[in-house]
Chain A
Amino acid sequence: AQSVTQPDIHITVSEGASLELRCNYSYGATPYLFWYVQSPGQGLQLLLKYFSGDTLVQGIKGFEAEFKRSQSSFNLRKPSVHWSDAAEYFCAGRAGNKLTFGGGTRVLVKP
């Protein structure tokens, strides 16, 4: 079955430090993959997407993600975290007409 897994439930990072959020997928063919961010009490905002082509994808807010077929991963990265990046992050993959979401990773940013 098509699935998306986010191994880390919580991550704490210092402001200005780099951030990497893990996402693993289980799909037969090349998946459509997405990263979303959700601030408290808000909807989900699309950060970036991967369909095909260049495996390093640039998104909004300084985020990027790299698709690695050999590792079945689509990890999200940011070189320098700002306090405003504290939020919940969801990786998602296409499952037919729908999206399958990972469980989410909550990012806490220390001053």
Chain B
Amino acid sequence: DAMVIQNPRYQVTQFGKPVTLSCSQTLNHNVMYWYQQKSSQAPKLLFHYYDKDFNNEADTPDNFQSRRPNTSFCFLDIRSPGLGDAAMYLCATSRVAGREQYFGPGTRLTVT
């Protein structure tokens, strides 16, 4: 089945230690999104790629970076995680920007 895959599902990192979360998709969608979701809140968009074009949200901290080496894969890099970065990170894809998005299962990040 076509899907959005996120690895790992659970990630524990230390304060200040760089961490990378990965997302892959078999939908061949042009657009990939990264969201941060904290408990009992709506997902908050960090950035998105339209093909290779990177679009950063104005309020996304510089601590968060992303890479999309090809259509199928997208990575979220947190350069120096703080305690406030503990959250669920969701990857989503869309065939056309602004249309329905398909979400992966998320990566739960814990910062110790």
- B-binding residues in A (CB < 8 A): 32, 34, 36, 41-46, 49, 90, 94-99, 101-104, 106
Contacts and interface: CB of A to CB of B under 8 A. Distances in A.
Interface of B: 4, 6, 31, 33, 40-43, 45, 48, 50, 55, 88, 90, 92, 97-106, 108
A45 B100 contact: no
A103 B38 CA distance: 12
Nearest to B99: A32
B98 A101 contact: no
Given A42-B105, A44-B43, A44-B90, A97 B48 contact: yes
Nearest to B43: A101
Q: Which of A36, A42, A43, A101 has the most chain B CB atoms closer than 10 A to its own CB?
A: A43
B106 A43 contact: yes
A97 B106 contact: no
Contact of B98 (A46, A90, A98, A103): A98
Given A95-B98, A97-B48, 9 more contacts: A43-B92, A44-B43, A94-B99, A96-B97, A96-B98, A97-B55, A101-B42, A101-B43, A104-B42
